[in-house]
Each structure stands twice: as C-alpha cells, then as structure tokens.
Chains A and B, each alone.
Chain A
Amino acid sequence: MKLLRLQRQLIWPEHVSIIELRAWVRSELASDPDVELLRWAITGLTTSVEGVRCLQVEGVRIG
C-alpha cells in the first residue's frame, strides 16, 4: 500500500448542481479503479470572467 498526495484542478460543469457536487468530485477523482480516496476536500474555487468555475481539490489517496 502507498499513500499518494492528491492535488487537482477540476472544471465544475454547469449541469452539475451543488446537490450533485460531492458525487461528481468523487467520480472525477476515482477515475483509476486501483486508487481509493482516503481524505479530500475542495480547498478553493475560482470563477473566470467567462463564468467557468474551477475547483481546487486536495487530498490523499491510496494506491
């Protein structure tokens, strides 16, 4: 078992509501079936002038 640092920027699509956000972030972070999330959080959120929302996610995963 190895612990891996997780740092990702994710574009939050318009069609994903706040109600669906947790499940959507998990699915984005768990794209590799051999990797499991141990601890994560959205630690930042910026919105560009065009209205594109970018999430900063930090965490630790098990590889």
Chain B
Amino acid sequence: MPPGGGGSHRMSAAPLPTLMVVPTGIGCAVGGYAGDALPSARLLAAASDCLITHPNVMNGAALYWSDPRIHYVEGYGLDRFAAGTWCLRPVRRQRIGLLLDAGIEPELSQRQIQVAEACRATLGLDIGPVLRSDQPLGVSLHSGPSGASWGSLERPDALLRAGERLRDAGATAIAVVARFPEDPGSDALTSYRQGSGVDALAGAEAVISHLLVRQLQIPCAHAPALAPLPLDPQLDPRAAAEELGYTFLACVLVGLSRAPGLIDTNAALPGDVHASQIGAAVVPEGALGGEAVLACVERGIPVISVANPSLLSVTSEVLGLSSGVFQASSYAEAAGLLVALREGISPAALGRPLPPLQEIQ
C-alpha cells in the first residue's frame, strides 16, 4: 500500500466483449472514410478490454494500430459470430497468403508485393505465398436506392479458386488485392476526398472479402489497387490516410496478422470467444438494420446507439426497439456506458431525471 494509506485502485472487472460495427459504404461521419473510426475503436477497446470489430473500422491504408484487445473480424465472419454459428479463436499469428487480381498492371502489382515485403522485414509478419488469380476478377461498383455503395465481381469463381489454392499452400489468412475501376474526376470521389461523400469502393470490397470468408472460413480482408491520385489541396483529414502511399495493403496485413480463427461453434474450445459472451454492441444510430446488430437484439444484448450521421435512418425508434438500447451522443459517451456495463452500474442511474420505481399491479 502506498504511503498515506490509500489503496491502489485499478479497473478489475472482467473484460466485456463488445461488438463495434460501423457499416461499410454508408457515409458515416465517423468511420466512413480511411480508418477514421480507429481512435474510437481504441477508446472502446480500453473501456471494454475486448473489442470485436471489422476491417472498415481498423483499416487506414498505410496507417494501422495493433492492439491485442481488438479482434479483427471480417464482416461475414462478424455476422456469423453474432448469430452464434461461429466463434473466435485468438491466435499468436496468422500466415497471410497474398492474392492479387490478374487485372492489376505489373507495376501496381509490384507495389503490392513490396508492401508485403516491407511488412515481413519491418514488422516481422508471416506472409506468403503470393498468387495471382487465373483471370481478372472484374470488379464493378454500384449504389443502392439508399445511396449505400455496393458492388460485384464478374468472375467470383476465379477469386475462390485462388483463395483455395492459397489455403492449400499453407495460408491461414488471405489478403486480397483487386483492381478497382478508376474514376479520378468523378464528383463522388471529389466529395469523398473532401469529406462529404460515400466511399464508393467499400461495398464491392465487402463483397470480395465476404465471398472468401464464406467459402474458406479463414480470416480474409481486401485492399483495392488503384493508381495514385493527383494532389487535392482540399483533402479532408479523414480521407488523408489513403493518400500516403501507393497501396492500401499495409493495414490489411497488420490486421490479419493476429485476426482470430473462425471456428464452428460446435467445435469451440475453452478460450474461444462465443456470441453468448458479448456484453454490448456499439452501432451508429441509423444503422441498426444490419445482420450482426439484429442478431445481438435477438440475444438481448445491450445496444449502444451512437450519434454518427450516415445515409441511413434505421434507428431504434423506427424499429420500435425501446428496451436494451442506450443512446450515446459520441463514442466518448459510448465508452463511458461500456465502463458502466462492465462495472455493473446501471446506465439509468447515471442520467437525470431518474424516474421512480414502478410497482407491478
């Protein structure tokens, strides 16, 4: 005990596994750009001691943050985890196979490989082998009626063949780089770079990684291959991480390097993280209509609905979801609510007015 008799106080409550979702391609003010929800993820990880989130939150192109309290789980795996079909198995490292779209030009391919080499040499990641798809993947971009970005592939079979070959060659995770269509002069790209638009690539990226994870049940994540853009003096800070280099790959390799294994729940072992352990889900207030969030609602898991404007307005109010939802005006407030839940403090006791107890008639 220190002099003066004061005890040493530190947070001692058990970790509160928390799901953080910032859906891809819906223009969230926080997390709709280049990994700009990462500071919020770091805060929620510190509050919960166990944060499960997805690449859209963590990927900042050349920028990344590695935190052993954060589990990097691709969206398809996140949905299966929240639904209780798969659980998460923490690992020390993954061996990351690099899958390159045959549609990438040789010089741009070489840039991707050099990033992988840099991550081996400078960060000590276990990367390899490298494989090119046997046909160009043919990425196309679309947007839905809501304005959310979506996308597709002309040759999904070529993607899956390459993924299977990498897995069979010893890869336990896959980073995939696909050639995306260039549209440097478009109004949509200009708006995005200046902080007022939707990430037009994000929907197609999610489709690519979802397909691989569904097929292979190993961690996978995607980085687009694009030519460097001309300098934009009006660049928004939230989009700036994507203008630092020639590729978007470094964050994907770092994220996958310790991504948890995706295990059928009926094969779970002690130490695996299961949906029944989730203590809270933190979601933008207008994005409660995703599969992972609805699965949490099914389980009665507290949902922290954070003010984070986006294209969508699927709120707790329009869904008629009243109990088990806590509103937060920011991710800082969401972190406070997580600490309260972790410590067993009723969030209702923290606000005023405090309604009196109701007696059951």
Contacts and interface: CB of A to CB of B under 8 A. Distances in A.
Interface in B10-62: 23, 26
A44 interface: yes
Contacts, number: 88
Nearest to B142: A5
Interface string B304-320: 00000000111000111
A56 B156 CA distance: 26
A49 interface: no
A48 interface: no
A38 to B, nearest CB: 5
B145 A19 contact: no
B207 interface: yes
Contacts of A11: none
Interface centre among B142, B210, B319 (most CB of A within 10 A): B319
A42 B23 CA distance: 12
29 contacts: A1-B160, A2-B156, A3-B152, A5-B142, A19-B297, A21-B294, A21-B297, A21-B319, A22-B291, A22-B294, A22-B295, A22-B298, A38-B76, A38-B207, A38-B210, A39-B207, A40-B291, A41-B287, A41-B289, A42-B289, A43-B26, A43-B145, A43-B146, A44-B146, A44-B313, A45-B314, A58-B145, A60-B152, A60-B207
Contacts of A3: 152-153, 156, 207, 211
Contacts of B180: none
Interface string B143-182: 0111010101100110010000000000000000000000
For chain B, give the interface size range: 35 or more
A63 to B, nearest CB: 11
Contact of B150 (A42, A55, A60): A60
A22 B146 CA distance: 19
B207 A58 contact: no
Nearest to A22: B294
A31 to B, nearest CB: 18
Query: Which of A1, A23, A59 has most B Cβ within 10 Å?
Result: A1
Contact of A58 (B76, B148, B152): B148
Interface in A22-46: 22-23, 25, 38-45
The number of chain A residues touching the other chain, given as a range, is 20 to 34
A4 to B, nearest CB: 8
B290 interface: yes
A18 B321 contact: yes
Contacts of B153: 3
A39 B23 contact: no
Contacts of B197: none
B206 interface: yes
Contact of A7 (B75, B144, B321): B144
B294 A44 contact: no
B120 interface: no
B167 to A, nearest CB: 18
Contacts of A23: 298
A19 B157 CA distance: 36
A19 B291 contact: no
A39 B337 CA distance: 30
A18 B297 contact: yes
A14 B297 CA distance: 18
A44 B207 CA distance: 20
Given A19-B297, A38-B210, A43 B148 contact: yes
A41 B144 CA distance: 11
A45 B313 CA distance: 8
Contacts of A20: 298
* Shortest beta-carbon contacts, A-B, top 10: A42-B289, A22-B294, A43-B146, A58-B144, A3-B152, A41-B290, A45-B318, A1-B156, A39-B210, A41-B289
